[in-house]
Amino acid sequence: MKNAARVISQIAFFIIFIVLILQARMHIWLIFFGATLLAAVFLGRIYCGWICPIHTGMRPINWLAKKIGYKRLRVPRILKSRVLPWIMLGLMVIVIIMSRLARVNVPILLLILALGALLTLIFQPEVFHTYICPYGALQGLAGRIARKSYRVDKKNCDGCSICKAACEAEAIAIKNGKADIHKGVCLQCGLCEQSCPQDTISYRTDRWF
Ligand code: SF4
Ligand code: SF4
């Protein structure tokens, strides 16, 4: 049920995104993105899991690759430091400023969407979500302090790693035999909750203090 709601949300926002592109009103999407950053402080990275058109564009490729058993590369060691999203963000800001000064329209979001789709053909989705996406870097900052997020009820977790394998963001680590979710990396997609045989993962409120 939650999965169907997420698909509907992603398709609806993808259509809105395309309409805004066709109307050359991308500033509306960027304002909306800013609002989702604020929302991430309370709800986690729901933009990434439920709204992001780049993620939506990657999903059918990822689904097909899994269906036909097409093996893709895991995270290259060079990306593990997680500096690339910030470099990407810096480059993006420079391109936006320069394109404004030159009065040239550069479709940044569309280019990153194409990059996400292309990389999904080569790498597992976590490579883009966690180690490349500049929007994800910003969402991750807010997501780190999210009031609500997917959490593991540690007392019922047996450390089987099934949730870790299901996660497309590499947000789950097994520590001391128990799963642990990194809030700043979690896309709030709920795949781990659906996969856990112990039913021990849920979206719930954390105490801030
Ligand atoms: S799938 Fe469930 S039981 Fe297994 S490691 Fe994850 S949270 Fe723990
Ligand atoms: S599978 Fe779970 S931990 Fe991974 S991104 Fe989705 S909700 Fe977050």
- DSSP string for the chain: -HHHHHHHHHHHHHHHHHHHHHTT-HHHHHHHHHHHHHHHHHH-SHIIIII-HHHHHHHHHHHHHHHTT---B---GGGTT--HHHHHHHHHHHHHHHHHHTT----HHHHHHHHHHHHHHHB-HHHHHHHT-HHHHHHHHHHTT-SEEEEE-GGG-----HHHHH-SS--EEEETTEEEE-TTT-----HHHHH-TT--EEEEEPP--
- Residue 169 CA to residue 136 CA, distance in Å, equals 11
What does the pLDDT look like over 77-87, one tens digit per residue? 999 999 999 99
Q: Which atom of ligand 2 is nearest to the CA of 195?
A: 1
Among 143, 171, 195, the domain-final residue is 143
Q: Is 130 in the pocket of ligand 2 (CB under 6 A)?
A: no
Structural domain boundaries enclosing 29: 2-143
**Cα 186 to ligand 1 centroid, rounded to whole Å:** 15
Distance 112 CA to ligand 2 centre (A): 22
**At 209, is the pLDDT very low, low, confident or very high (cuts 50, 70, 90)?**
low
Cα 197 to ligand 1 centre (Å): 7
What is the reported pLDDT for 153?
95
108 and 6 in a common domain: yes
| Confidence (pLDDT) at 107 | 87
Calculate how far, in angstroms, residue 32's C-alpha sits from the geometric centre of ligand 2.
Answer: 23
Residue 166 CB–ligand 2 contact under 6 Å: yes
> What band does 208 get if pLDDT is binned at 50, 70 and 90?
low
State the residue for tokens 């564009």. Answer: 57
CA atoms within 13 A on the CB side of 96: 11
**∠ Cα 138 142 146 (to 5°):** 150
Asked if residue 128 and residue 196 are part of one domain, the reply reads: no
Q: What is the mean pLDDT of residues 179-190?
A: 97
Q: Show which of 99, 128, 143 is a domain's final residue.
A: 143
- Of all protein residues, whose CA lies closest to atom 1 belonging to ligand 2? 167
| 160 and 58 share one domain | no
Ligand 2 pocket, 48 CB below 6 A?
Answer: no
pLDDT digits (tens, 9 = 90+) for 125-154: 999 999 999 999 999 999 999 999 999 999
- Nearest CA-CA partner of 146 in 188, 98, 198, 200: 188
Q: Are residues 69 and 171 in the same domain?
A: no
Question: What is the percentage of the chain residues whose pLDDT exceeds 90?
Answer: 90
Q: Residue 130: what pLDDT? A: 96
- Count of the separate structural domains present in the chain: 2
Mean pLDDT value across the chain: 95
Q: Tokens standing for 46? A: 């729901």
Q: What is the CATH number of the domain that holds 170?
A: 3.30.70.20
Same domain, residue pair 63 and 119: yes
Q: 6 C-alpha to center of ligand 1: Å? A: 22
Q: Which of 125, 140, 107 is nearest to 58 (CA)?
A: 125
Where among 119, 143, 167 does a domain terminate? 143
Determine the average pLDDT of the residues in 20-44. 94
Q: How far is CA 109 from the centre of its chain?
A: 15
Q: What is the pLDDT of residue 24?
A: 87
Q: Which ligand is nearest to the CA of 197?
A: 1
The ligand whose atoms approach the alpha carbon of 44 most closely is 2
207 pLDDT band (50/70/90 cuts)? confident
